[in-house]
Structure 1
Amino acid sequence: MPAYQPFNLPDVGEGLTEADIVEWKVSPGDEVTVNQTIVEIETAKSLVELPSPYAGVVHELLVEVGASVDVGNPIIVIDTDPGGAASVPADDAADEGETSGDVLVGYGTKAPSQARRTRRHAQPAASAAAPVAAPATPAPQPEPATPRPAPEPAKQAAPSAPISANPVLAKPPVRKLAKDLGVDLSRLKGTGPGGIVTREDVNAAVENEQPERLVVYPGDDRPWLDGGTVAADGRTTRVPVRSVRRRTAEAMVASAFSAPHVTVITATDVTKTMKLIKTLREDREFADVKVTPTLIAAKALILAIRRHPEISAAWDDATQEIVYKHYINIGIAAATPRGLVVPNIKDAHRLGLHDLALALNELTSTARAGKTQPAAMSDGTVTITNIGTFGIDTGTPILNPGESAILAVGAITKRPWVHKNKVKARWVTRLALSFDHRLVDGELGSRVLQDVAATLNDPARGLVWG
């Protein structure tokens, strides 16, 4: 008889309590192997691909795309012995202390408690959703006389219940299309076999019922459509605050209202830095990396911290202690489609310029792909944010929680500048350093900023590039 194994959502790092289902990589009836990617989830910090802990056939997807699910709750059921001999039911195995995620690469799940947690966030608030597997594409089912053991002990003798009392019938690709276009499936009448909602139904709804057309010009970018609910008059869209955006908001509020921020600003001539960048880009030793002003600014900040190590610190409220860090994990603020993330380069003070460039390139490409792991964003010391890429001169950045300082690098533009007693066109930028005034007084903050500016003005000051 079939052996149904539920796979519970694991904690993928740093005690995260929930995640959103972004994309299922499998469908009911698909064969899967151990460590094959089955789903992509979004945590409060990053996108993570989960591998299958079992080999077998996908029996049921328990959570649909866009829904949130708590860590420890089942998200998929896999038949590990389709048509085979009898085996121990999943619930019995769980009672014996087994966990569903022990074989996952790099992480596992915690042992379940005696009292099973009920499913929460099983459907988006905006619609009454059906199980992900639609009747029009049924998955291989067990013999009728042998009902499968369900993950919930109280329902072992009954077939799996739908996610909502009034399900909307639609295949996963159609559900994703509807979500991408901001169409509420519960408002549609399916024209497919058995009342199933088809792709044509969704497209027709977009053509006939899109109220935002009243106030948005055709062809305008509408990033709010993903998961948003449009008002009847089309003038507003409400989107739930989730994952990276929610985490960023919480962190920034906590930082802004717990650490007294002070910002010092200076302008500096970086013409020699721009010449250095041009030289490095033409150097064969740097042909495999991207050389940018952020790289040179990062090196300048590292050198400044080495000269003023007391700025690398953290305030411990619980113990009322200042924690001085004898290392530099330099964070790089990266804008991604899902919000701002700040991964950091571990032990950046130990890296030569070429290795620092490699680490910076890898860090930014991973962040923009949404693949940054939680560990890469922990234990930072200081951060750089290059707002100059947006043409902005300067700003007053907010500290990344747990850090003492953040450096903003403004746009590098040619401006009139007094050089050797003559006004010339020089490459100039503005630098802004925000710091925690509990840890860093005005003198220390100003010295660190001036040190960074001096190195960018004359990179030869940083003789130790290696």
Structure 2
Amino acid sequence: MDSMSLQQFALPDLGEGLTESEIVSWEVAVGDTVELNQVLAEVETAKALVELPSPFAGTVSQLLVEPGTTVSVGTPIVAIETADASPPVEPPPPVEPVETSPAVEPVETRPEQPPETPSVLVGYGPRVASSERPRRRQRSASWLAAHAVPESAGEPRHPEPAPAEDRRTPIAGVRKRMAEAMVQSAFTAPHATVHLEVDVSESLALVERLREHPRLTGTRVTLLTLVASACLRAIRHSPAINSRWDAANDSVIEFAHVGLGIAVATDRGLLVPHIQAADRLSFAELAQAMTELVAAARSGKATTAQLSGGSFSITNVGVFGVDSGTPILPPGEAAILALGAVRRRPWEHRGEVALRSVATLSLSFDHRLVDGKQGSEFLVAVGSMLSDPGSVVAFA
């Protein structure tokens, strides 16, 4: 009969040079029997939510890290008892959170060093040495109040309102990555922005017709879909919009195809996943790709491949009721276009003043790559197609 041994599973290298992840939730509990490749936990990297499969089959002996804790690659997170003749390994104590007042920095604890040969999932790289300590998300006063011990049954329930307190939230995961990217872009690329008001009445009418088209059944078609298609067509005549400044090699890269980024607001922060070679897609294929990409980003299932490799992006600030803005470039991209809210306004139409649907397009660009003439011509071309959108839709 095989003896039992205790195996430790360390947080693996999830790729893209990411050195830490936050344990979002455990999918198993102590005492559970797990199979090989069964999902143990869901973790959040700086780019996406990732499910961690078990490299062992056995019984969960100990969960070493609580949900909400950020740990470095190579840190043991769970101990599993397996049928093995090898001697057991003593697990380190779990990382204990220390509750503090929001006005005081959280106390951090350092886990014991992992064993010399930590478990590594197939396809993942080796662990990355790091001196950073696990960080525990600060719990708010409202959470503490909700989990307080109730009053005795014989006493009247008259809880006093909790006093107002400052709230400290650690910056991690997607929000941390977004902040770093925006600072990098803002202070490395000289931004310029141009705005254009466009009559999109015909585009909105076309959207309604397209929603009934049999080729688009089950696909979400919006004004942003038409904007994306118009941008892809305008880029054919404005290659500078789809380029990159390569300072390391003193050169400019003009991309053969468009990695189209779609800015998506999620509960975890702003994500900009991309559709690779979007310019090669038909309108129906583009609409379907956008629908799937946004759904993946909002559910936290966007892959690291989808969250990299962009060359031009669009963002819809109109969904928040905003007329226009000055979007910041995703790092390494030459331009980003923002679509503002659609407003019913008096507008000159066919020689008369009529009530029309008008939206503002805002194009921010890297002035090293795109000059004012190029940026303006591109924006006018997009606006013209949205005013008369017949040429925007091609199903072939």
TM-score (norm 2): 0.86
Match of 2:143 among 177, 182, 189: 182
CA distance change for structure 1 residues 459 and 397 in 2, over 3 Å: closer, same or farther? same
Is residue 240–residue 334 contact of structure 2 (8 Å, CA) maintained in 1?
Answer: no
Q: 1:125 to 1:38 in 2, by over 3 A?
A: closer
**Is contact 1:183-1:202 (8 Å) kept?**
no
Once the two structures are TM-superposed, the CA of residue 345 in structure 1 deviates from its matched residue by 0.8
Contact preservation (8 Å) 1:17, 1:71: yes
Q: 1-side partners of 2:68 and 2:160: how far apart?
A: 21
Q: What residue is the counterpart of 2:86 in the other structure?
A: 87
Q: Corresponding residue for 2:136? A: 124
AA aligned opposite 1:100: S
Q: What does 1:389-400 align with in structure 2 at a 5 Å threshold?
A: 389-400=319-330
Q: Which amino acid aligns with 1:102?
A: L
Report if the CA contact (8 A) 2:46-2:177 is conserved.
yes
- Give the Cα–Cα distance (whole angstroms) in 2 for the partners of residues 244 and 450 of structure 1: 34
What are structure 1's unaligned runs of at least 5 residues? 127-177, 185-198, 215-233
Gaps of 5+ in 2: 91-114, 152-156
After superposition, what is the alpha-carbon deviation per residue over 1:246-297, rounded to whole angstroms, capped at 9, x for unaligned?
Answer: 1111110111111000000001111111111011111122121011111110
Deviation of 1:463 (Å): 6.2
Partner SS state of residue 193, structure 2: strand
**1:413: Cα distance to partner?**
2.1
Alignment partner of 1:377: what SS? Answer: coil
Q: Which residue of 1 aligns with 2:349?
A: 419
Task: Give the direction of change, closer, same or farther, for the CA distance of 1:56–1:305 in structure 2 (3 Å limit).
Answer: same
Partner residue of 2:99? none
Alpha-carbon distance in structure 1 between the residues aligned to 2:249 and 2:172: 32
1:371 aligns with 2:301: yes
Aligned mates of 1:282, 1:57 — CA distance in 2 = 53
Q: 1:305 to 1:123 in 2, by over 3 A?
A: closer
Q: Distance in 1 between matches of 2:133 and 2:209?
A: 55
If the length of structure 1 is used for normalisation, what is the TM-score?
0.73
Tell me the equivalent position of 1:74.
76
Retained in 1: the 8 A contact 2:342–2:358? yes
| Corresponding residue to 1:36 among 31, 35, 38 | 38
Q: Identity rate of aligned residues, in percent?
A: 44
Written as runs of structure 1 = structure 2, the 5 A alignment for 1:50-449 is 50-81=52-83, 86-87=85-86, 100-103=119-122, 107-110=123-126, 121-122=133-134, 124=136, 181-183=142-144, 201=148, 213-214=162-163, 234-449=164-379
SS of equivalent residue, structure 2 residue 322: coil
Distance 1:300 1:392, change over 3 A: same
Contact 2:4 2:85 (C-alpha < 8 Å) held by counterparts = yes
Conserved? CA contact 1:63–1:122, under 8 Å: no
Q: Distance in 2 between matches of 1:457 and 1:313?
A: 27
Distance 1:309 1:290 in 2: 29
Q: Which amino acid aligns with 2:119?
A: S
CA distance in 2, matches of 1:430, 1:118: 47
> RMSD of the alignment, in Å?
2.4
Aligned to 2:331, what secondary structure does the other structure show? coil
Rounded Cα–Cα distance in structure 2 between residues aligned with 1:72 and 1:210 = 45
Q: 1:266 to 1:182 in 2, by over 3 A?
A: same
Q: Say if 1:257 and 1:200 are closer, same or farther in 2 by CA, change over 3 A.
A: closer
Distance in structure 2 (CA, Å) of the matches to 1:89 and 1:405: 56
Contact 1:251 1:400 in 2 (8 A): yes
Per-residue deviation, 1:202 = 5.2
In 1, are the aligned partners of 2:257 and 2:277 still within 8 Å (CA)? yes
Higher relative contact order (CA 8 A, sep 6+): 2
Runs (4+) of structure 1 exceeding 6 A deviation are 207-211
TM-aligned CA deviation for residue 76 of structure 1: 0.9
Matched-pair contact (CA < 8 Å) for 2:15–2:125: no
Alignment deviations for residues 111-169 of structure 1 (CA, whole Å, 9 cap, x no partner) = x68xxx6885346275xxxxxxxxxxxxxxxxxxxxxxxxxxxxxxxxxxxxxxxxxxx
Deviates most, 355-364 or 315-324: 315-324
User: CA 1:408–1:309 in 2, change beyond 3 Å: closer, same or farther?
Assistant: same
Match of 2:29 in 1: 27
Higher helix share: 1
Looking at structure 1, the residues matched to 393 and 38 of structure 2 have their Cα atoms a distance apart, in angstroms, of: 49
Partner Cα separation in structure 1 for residue 347 and residue 67 of structure 2: 56
Q: Which moved more, 1:5-14 or 1:293-302?
A: 5-14
Name the count of aligned residue pairs. Answer: 365
Q: CA deviation at 1:235?
A: 3.8
Q: CA deviation at 1:386?
A: 0.4
SS state at 2:144 partner = coil
Q: Residues of 2 paired with 1:278 and 1:462: CA distance?
A: 15
Q: 1:332-383 CA distances to partner (integer Å, 9 max, x unpaired)?
A: 0000001000001111011111111111111111111122222211110111
- Aligned residue number for residue 3 of structure 1: 5
